[in-house]
A and B are shown apart, each in its own frame.
Chain A
């Protein structure tokens, strides 16, 4: 079981309110991702849930019980840190055994859990090595193994992939998703990378300056961002935001249109512009179109085989069904 409820949880460091009163419900078995730019309070929020920081107000409920003043070890949560935080002088086996040793789990039970975790995480051959002899990805798996053997009611991940190179990151992303599918345990995952959020989450919590901007499934956030911040943060490349008379024509202060919802043509369309930089990814091509008179550049996604070059004149046509309209305050208009 791992149902976590935050009731008006607040955190202040001195006079600075890092997290204003915040409410959030995390259902049992959910994969929740806290995402936001650096300094938005997402790691602080995770540490509050873990108990590594004291709350300045509000209550944290774990499975219905008030855990606000429970010490970290007693909350039944396991955490995976950004730096892995492995114990460098202990072998992999001892690292994984450490929480069980502290909890007084019998030796044969320890061995059984270590063996099963090592098998699940492909660590069996490395059990007698020291962390210093492992690669980044292996260290991360040891850290996850150390969390699994505790059989926690929820896992907390604090930017676990940001120290890995791009290829490994994709691999570990899949492994963590698979782990979640297998264990069905609640997972709370903090990242600043919206791709990780989109690909892994059941539910994304977008944070800015300690405030929740929007909560929802990845596709809800993609389809209907509640405000300009979420619109600009979710989706890659970013949504094009257009202000001025063109927005006024649609009765909004700002209109947003995603690069994938603009049609490109060499001959006709709604907006005229000139091709600036183009990025050919093979499957797709991203054009940065300049001189449209709408915004500095308009990003457009087109097919991989399209034949347009720097300086060519292009015509863009937005797909009206996917046009997002925002009012002066930046909130979504119906």
Chain B
């Protein structure tokens, strides 16, 4: 992987190319590493990226998403696009945009031995800090949109979301790739901090078309906080979602749900780690995979219950449906438990649709295509239902079922 660095970055002079493997970012992940066992990165590795940041999109509607209201922050090709954004002044929210040299001054990067995380830190072009003041309940969702619209463009962006005591926030995050661009790459990082009794729900929607998207999510939870993340992966060459949820306070609720529907050799990988450091917490995971047309799905979830973290209730569920001969699923739900008074379990199933149920629908004059669609709908609905906005639900179903 080579990046042509045309921007501000102090790492290199202008117009020079940067071989990422030569950079000291840690070794480029390969399949011998347990974390990357099921996700080969050959197709990403051979691309020569540039980070020349320019705007190409004129209207958000051209990307096939429904009309978004309220606060909208749009980053296009790694840079804040003010004409697409809708910055309304909300006095409850402190909003801060950092780019260029400001990032360097504000950087407080933890030293992680993760390649893409380091890549993000080294080439970060836009960092948005959102702070929600204490005792505030924001009902209208905030929209964070990340677009890639330029071929071979690499976008390294970051959102810092701090929710203070007793506040509640709902975020809709979109990762979109324009249908006429290819080999673009959004390498994004979300840094979430939840203070006590706060609550955050993130609906993440990924529709990258012929582009790549990796997300590193770091969530720190303090006591009695609630974190819910619903990930909907509709398209992209390789999508990788790393979720690291660290629960530091008692009586927390952590919930990760997802639907991934790769088609046409797409490769969607969900990698989650929930770290229970203290007692009396609950965590739930529910991921549904619908895989067809040579798509590959990966679910690798891990729950770690550390010593002395008693009375933990953790549940992982992963159900997958394979719809044709060439599609594949790799499921690896893991439990690592060092405390005894816990109730932890996981379940994973893989199979196809019930022939009898299909026959039932067919015998009532419903076409094969429609029957399969109905069955798929029934299968993923459990996760889709988490959203109570009917417009958004309809949009999700339309994109995930790909009709």
Does A pair with B?
Answer: no
Q: CB within 8 Å of B: which residues of A?
A: none
Chain B contacts to A: CB under 8 angstroms: none
